[in-house]
Structure 1
């Protein structure tokens, strides 16, 4: 199965920002269960719900001492599957890819409703829909991870194959590649590069994967052993996480202010750059799974499964229904 290993080890696709250093992990507090939660990226405004939940003590209220892991480890799915850590934040396709390698990982809370990948093109390119990508130069960070899954989904929606476009690996340089004419379209994280391009004064057309097909996006995973032996831990983790999500949706300004204590340099940005980051947060919130809070969409799981089978990345015999559960979500009223 081609590219399976690369796709498995790809970190959760999140926005690239400069000037963000990793703070020291605090020591566990006596009486609390320490949880190291890998998020697969550097400190970033898009983790605002987790910063809110930590800052407001939601995890501690439920007996958890949560610290975020920014180590950029590429094997978080494998670590959870092996029981070395109980939780991680990953993209949904990683769960199916992991289970295809007999890793007993389970997706227990949907953070994002919409798959956050798309293809951006300047309006001057004439690209208006996925079918217009035929014969065009399309840049992508690399042929792995959520960006590659999203590209394949958009091509399929347009009846195109990868060979119908001129695909170029450009790293995370989509803004420069688009504005200098290196490529005509770029696979992007839709709450990042399009906002940067508009802040620079460019008119941008974004072809969202979510407008063509529902795929599973970012969420919280655990493993079958933890679900069986410590279901209360899972419920507490989800409950506190969701409180952070809900607070962020209810008051983005407060969530942004809290994030300045966790994301280096966020508090000292220029007015223009701060507006861009507030735009990133607002656009991220628009993608959250809010109704019902945290609930997975079975159709999105089936769509993701079918796409990965079509890409020859997982076997058609894989039980995709075992990859997720909604059974550990809080029941209304939640708090």
Structure 2
């Protein structure tokens, strides 16, 4: 595949990419924490950098596929291995065991893992808008967050971004879990809401909302109460082990720059990004699946866009708000100083 541009785009080298699972599934990331007693291995500035993608091959990882396909990692002098997680694999287990150098996860998930002893530091945020929302049928009497009181809300489980997002929406309206009926429904949001089993669900704007629309089910999202429509949570980014931040700072900085370049290309060229991802994601040669993938990616672009001219930057105030929120909801095993959980010095 040939691509001409000033960026010296090149085809990817398949031998440098490790795809562990061959399936095309939804975009909900598996949540969980690894063994906090493990430590990352010292690469000594040599060898490949292994990036953990916390789900099976999927269009949600397009920026990484793009960066690999177009030679951005190679141009940066790096050998990068993209390692997909299995369904049963703990989110931070491989990072703790030294089998991964960097993991792609939510900032809130990293903070929770860090409170359990995982030495992970968020070195770049890739989503500048939180991807989770509470969704209700279009004709639902629920119009605002306060109307959720007494309603049945379906969420995959008491973990991860969908759960954190639900708690944040409830808190914005002065509600808690005890004021609603939470059902743990796994990743079956579409069936549960369309079938009337729940009054609302928490889901991903760039997956569940897209699937609802494509299946003809009209839904609305419920915004947090108050003037600030944003949730006190930090979305997906690159989490590096502290061994890598201390032992391979230049390699890590190069990795961040190359990945952010992949993010920008995906924002600018979503159709081309889907085309490049087809060599990584089984099934995308099918026209319908490729069309579905493009719909997901087009819904993802607004989440990745940065409007203040500082792509990848972690907002210190946002991390402080998140740390306070998660601590107040007993989501942290131990208090974590927000300033220790992220580091903007690896940005280009």
The separation in 2 between residues aligned to 1:82 and 1:257, in whole angstroms, is: 34
Shift of 1:81: 4.2
Query: 1:124-159 CA deviation, whole Å, 9 max, x = no partner?
Result: 112221111111111011111111111100000011
Secondary structure class of the residue paired with 1:118 = strand
Residue 314 (structure 1) aligned to one of 332, 339, 343: 332
- Evaluate the alpha carbon distance shift between residue 136 and residue 303 of structure 1 in structure 2; reply closer, same or farther with a 3 A threshold: same
| Residues 116, 334 of structure 2: 8 Å contact kept | no
**Which residue does the alignment assign to 2:293?**
277
Cα displacement string for residues 102-129 of structure 1 (whole angstroms, at most 9, x for unaligned residues): 3321100101011111111111112221
How far, CA to CA, are the matches of 1:325 and 1:289 in structure 2?
20
Work out the CA distance in 1 between the residues paired with 2:280 and 2:295. Answer: 18
**Contact 2:47 2:79 survives alignment (8 Å):** yes
Q: Which residue of 1 aligns with 2:11?
A: none
Distance in 2 between residues matched to 1:230 and 1:174, nearest whole Å: 41
User: Aligned-pair RMSD on alpha carbons?
Assistant: 2.2
**Deviation of the 1:45 alpha carbon:** 1.1
* Partner Cα distance (1:202, 1:240) in 2: 38
| Shift of residue 278, structure 1, vs aligned partner | 1.4
Q: Give yes or no for the alignment of 1:241 onto 2:259.
A: yes
Q: Following the alignment from structure 2 to structure 1, what is the Cα–Cα distance between the partners of residues 245 and 216? A: 49
- The aligned runs of 1:143-292 (5 Å cut-off) are 143-207=158-222, 211-270=229-288, 273-290=289-306, 291-292=309-310
CA distance in 1: counterparts of 2:271 and 2:222, whole angstroms: 28
The one-character-per-residue Cα deviations of 1:8-49 (angstroms, maximum 9, x if unpaired) are: xxxx97379xxxxxxxxxxxxxxx832321111011111111
1:40-59 aligned within 5 A: 40-59=54-73
TM-score normalized by structure 2? 0.81
Corresponding residue of 1:19: none
Shift of residue 307 of structure 1? 1.3
213 and 267 in structure 1: CA distance in 2 versus 1, 3 angstrom threshold: same
1:88 partner SS: strand
Q: Partner residue of 2:95?
A: 80
Deviations 1:245-264 (A, max 9, x none): 11111111111111112111
Q: For structure 1, which segment, 197-206 or 104-113, has the greater mean C-alpha deviation from structure 2 after superposition? A: 197-206
| Contact 1:105 1:223 survives alignment (8 Å) | yes
Cα shift at 1:76: 4.2
Q: Summarize the Cα distance change of 1:208–1:82 in structure 2 as closer, same or farther, 3 Å threshold.
A: farther
Tell me the CA shift for residue 285 of structure 1.
Answer: 1.1
CA contact (8 A) 2:28 2:187 kept: no
Task: Provide the rounded CA distance (Å) in 1 between the counterparts of 2:237 and 2:114.
Answer: 16
The answer on whether the counterparts of 2:27 and 2:58 sit within 8 Å (CA) in structure 1 is no
Question: Quick check: 1:213–1:303 contact (8 Å CA) kept in 2?
Answer: no
**Which 5+ residue runs of structure 2 have no aligned equivalent?**
1-25, 31-45
Q: Would the alpha carbon gap of residues 315 and 179 (structure 1) be closer, same or farther in structure 2, given more than 3 Å must change?
A: closer
1:211 alignment partner, SS class: coil
How far apart in 2 are the matches of 1:197 and 1:13?
A: 14
Aligned residues: 302
State the SS of the aligned residue for 1:36: strand
Q: Deviations over 1:80-101 (max 9, x none)?
A: 3454421111111122222222
